[in-house]
Chains A and B, each alone.
Chain A
Amino acid sequence: MTTMTLGRTGVPTKYLPVLVTGCLLVAMFVVGGIRYEGFASGQVILNVFIDNAFLLVVAVGMTFVILTGGIDLSVGSVVALSTMISASLMAGPGWPPYLVIPLVLVIGSGLGLVMGYIVHAFDIQPFVVTLAGMFLARGLCYTIGTDSIPIEDPTFTAFAQDRIDLFADLWISPSVLIAALVVLGAVYVLHYTRLGRSIYATGGSEQSALLMGLPVGRTKITVYTISGFCSALGGVLLSFYMLSGYGLHAVGMELDAIAAVVIGGTLLTGGSGFLLGTVLGVLVLGLIQTIISFEGTLSSWWTKIFIGLLLFVFILLQRVFSARSRR
């Protein structure tokens, strides 16, 4: 019973959720293309990537954590902290970006490492530990400053406003390129390294993974570190996008990231899911926003309503699939 026949073609059960998300995305694009003029262009898709590159990077980190059966609520705050540190160091002492960016990445990874260590060593639920991390990082933003700090460093702004031209008038921002590299790297790690397989095994059954002699503790610490790194990198990309640092940036982004991962078909209990699903999940979220902006009259809160409905549908779908594959 490894395959369930869909019509005539056999699709392995494990790819079904990703397939459903993919179909949804295509359907949304087709509907949008029929309804709105100028919607069905390549640049609209690319804009979704450009506007959501930071979310994509954050969601990649979240996917690692969720695959082990954990959760990371601190990502939004770490994103905000990263924008704040970048902006303040460039504005105040006038540090150059090539010093600031690595520093921010180290701080983000360090925060993840500490949270991961606490989760593992004291055997505390990740929800609680990262909740503490979330408050801590958000609070630290305000010790740096309560107002928005603009970024005026010439190298930084130049890079942020750079366009990479593709063929036929299509373009992307450097952030998209970075996000794409992160995605490819993450796919490689998840599917072609021992760390990646240990992540899946830990999510499948932590007890079994331990008895099979896998380094479960190290794996758990590593995924939170990766998530911390991705959040910090997401923060840097967000500062490219916003050109400012602010303690109120990325409020609730952890929930967007979790939503993207779940819509992408990854099980919150861990052990099952694909990074491609997360990419599609982020695209679905982005496309909802695009459709609502094309509609023009709808309030942006409709985005939340659609995300809410989609989440319900996907959670039910997962339930149906897992119930069926158990037979």
Chain B
Amino acid sequence: MALPAPVLTMSGIGKQFPGVKALDGVDLRLLPGEVHALMGENGAGKSTLIKVLTGVYPADAGTIELDGRAVAFGTPLEAQQGGISTVYQEVNLCTNLSVAENVCIGREPRRRGRIDWKRMRARAAELLSRLELSLDVSAPLSSYSLAIQQMVAIARAIDIDARVLILDEPTSSLDADEVEQLFRVMRRLKEEGIAILFVSHFLDQIYEISDRMTILRNGRLVGEFLTRELPQVELVAKMIGQELAALERLHGEAKVFDRPLVEARGLGRQGAIEPFTLTIHEGEVVGLAGLLGSGRTEIARLLFGADHAGAGELAIGGTPASLRTPRTAMTHRIAFCSENRKTDGLIPDLTVRENIILALQATRGWTRPVPREQQDELVGRYVKALKINPPNPELLVGNLSGGNQQKVVLARWLILEPRLLILDEPTRGIDVGAKTEIQRLVVELSDGGMAVLFISAELEEVLRLSHKVGVLRDRRLVAELPNDDRLTTDVLLETIASGGASNGAAGNGAASGADDVMANGGRDS
């Protein structure tokens, strides 16, 4: 069967940033009616390639051909007019405007120069119904969840008569149903002959939806493959450039924990999380599982003093403590890597070194600056230990890829040698290689006696790392399950779905219901 002519061909693309060679001689071709996955680790150059294609960055070398004609887009607008629409990883919409406007702005239906609001709302509603969404299109976008905002962004992208649709990690904030919905839409668009470029870190999704893939590594092209001809193991090997040892269950023996570090009794906050009881021991990894918005982050924030607990008490190392501010928490050597590294964690205009040293400097106060040699030594050690890439501490953090930025946040807290490390979604939007490294690190740290509170949407990951798992549902800690052989992702899912009520039926003998959690917490302490 002869292949149709590609809609888009990029060849020999090169892009240089200060101190980083982001792309070097990369080729990419997109065929009509195909979903093409762009694969690579963080920092492999996926985002840069997309930004070059859509006119956000100019290319330093190489050519782009659209329908056989050479093009060079200077702005995202030109790319859109050329028929290339993009949905970026972070939702890039204006939350202060209505849903309808976000779908239509820039090409609003007009009558005699005047915006026709009625027609605009109708068109937005129609486009959203194509995605099987029914929203109040005149409501401001800020009133909807991130997942819905993502769908609105896609509705916007397909409203333009797109020939090429780029989806840059559209699924990282969607739940399973929403992903399925998205895939249905993608298949329909595919049938219409649109070429779709799809980026995702979820390998299962890639295998479910994509026809063909291009793999990048360190800014270079590894090759183009048909998805059905490339087994998953080989794909991962090609992405990280070496054979990947299977991710084994990292914790072998069940350890005995007898030294409670943090004990929360009836700790809660009105409207955020119902009172919960939880004990974290030294050297223990406690996982929190639950859906987005089930109260995982809220627990973390309470334990870090970022929010003030309205009820309950907290003891650290056996003595009662009141964590009014993150600063107090830091003096108790509690560290918190927040979910949103961009807005809550990093300062993109400072260098890697300055970002890493920040928390250490804050605990010392400004009158005692950390000597430069000590800074260099500490930073160098962590850059090496965490394999931050590129290993240059004087680069601006903003120029690093997502996974490496995450490592910088981690390094910042590790420097303080915390007793309790709270990790909120540390591996979200991170590739397999960096994910394994971070997981290994968690194990090493806990073996060294550090307590870790590990929050992740991926149940396998929670299961692999944790000694016990707290399950959350509707802002309530519904169960606390010891991680033994009988605990599987299915049991976890069951617990999340049933709110802990049917645990006994599932037969794993785990604690169920809030009362049992209390009892469990009591026994531990």
Which residues of A are at the interface with B, using a C-beta cutoff of 8 A?
Answer: 1-2, 13-14, 188, 191-194, 197-198, 200-201, 203-205, 207-215, 271-272, 325-326
Whether B93 pairs with A325 at a CB distance below 8 angstroms is no
B97 near A204 (CB under 8 angstroms)?
yes
A-B contact pairs, 7 of them (CB 8 A): A200-B96, A201-B101, A204-B96, A205-B93, A208-B92, A209-B94, A212-B105
Contacts A188-B114, A193-B115 supplied; 12 other A-B pairs, CB < 8 Å: A2-B136, A193-B114, A194-B115, A197-B108, A205-B92, A205-B95, A205-B96, A210-B76, A212-B102, A213-B106, A214-B77, A215-B77
**Given A194-B108, A213-B77, A2 and B115 contact (CB-CB distance below 8 Å):** no
Chain B: interface residue total (CB-CB under 8 A): 29
Q: How far is the CB of A190 from chain B (nearest CB, A)?
A: 11
Per the bound structure, the CA–CA distance linking A215 and B56 in Å amounts to: 14
Q: In the docked arrangement, what's the CA distance between A211 and B105, Å? A: 12
Given contacts A211-B76, A212-B156, A325-B142, contact A197 B96 (CB under 8 A): no
| Contact partners of A1 in chain B: CB under 8 A | 143
Closest B-chain residue to A211, C-beta based?
Answer: B92
Min CB distance, B123 to chain A, in Å?
15
Indicate if the CB atoms of A212 and B143 lie closer than 8 Å. Answer: no
Where chain A touches its partner, the secondary structure class is helix
Evaluate contact between B106 and A194: CB separation under 8 angstroms. yes
Instruction: Pick the residue among A188, A207, A212 that contacts B106 (CB under 8 A).
Output: A212
- Do A207 and B115 have beta carbons less than 8 Å apart? no
Docked CA distance A209–B92 (Å):
8
Interchain CB contact under 8 A, B140 and A208 = no
Q: Check B113 for interface membership: any CB of A closer than 8 A.
A: yes
CA distance A1 to B57 in the complex (A): 38
Q: Tell whether A2 pairs with B94 under 8 Å between CB atoms, given A213-B106, A214-B105.
A: no
Which residue of the partner chain, among A191, A197, A210, A326, contacts B105 with CB atoms under 8 Å? A197
How far is B96's CA from A13's CA once the two chains are assembled, in angstroms?
11
Whether a CB of chain A sits under 8 angstroms from the CB of B139 is yes
Which residues of chain B have a CB within 8 Å of any CB of chain A?
56, 75-77, 80-81, 86, 88, 92-97, 101-102, 105-106, 108, 110, 113-115, 136, 139-140, 142-143, 156
Query: Does B88 contact A2, Cβ atoms closer than 8 Å?
Result: no
Q: Which residues of chain B are near A271, meaning CB under 8 Å?
A: 94, 96
**Alpha-carbon distance between A326 and B88 when the two chains are bound, in angstroms:** 23
Q: Are B140 and A201 in contact (CB under 8 A)?
A: no
Residues of A within 8 A of B97 (CB): 197, 200-201, 204
Cβ-defined contact, A205 with B94, below 8 A: yes
Query: Are A2 and B77 in contact, with the CB atoms below 8 A?
Result: no
Q: How far is the CA of A87 from the CA of B86 in the complex (A)?
A: 55
For the complex of A and B, the 4 pairs showing the least CB-CB separation, nearest first, are A204-B94, A204-B96, A213-B77, A2-B139
Cβ–Cβ < 8 Å partners of A197 in chain B: 97, 101, 105, 108, 115
- Please report the C-alpha to C-alpha distance between residue A129 and residue B113 in the assembled complex, in whole angstroms: 33
In whole angstroms, how far apart are the Cα atoms of A215 and B78 in the complex?
11
Please tell me if the beta carbons of B96 and A212 are within 8 angstroms of each other in the complex.
Answer: no
Known: A208-B92, A271-B94. Contact between A201 and B76, CB under 8 A? Answer: no
**Assembled-state Cα–Cα distance A325/B101 (Å):** 19
| Residues of chain A with a CB closer than 8 A to B115's CB | 191-194, 197
> Which residues of chain A come closer than 8 Å to B76, judged between CB atoms?
210-213
Chain B residues near A207: list those with CB within 8 A: 92
Q: Are B92 and A203 in contact (CB under 8 A)?
A: no
Q: What is the bound-complex CA distance between A272 and B92, given in angstroms?
A: 18
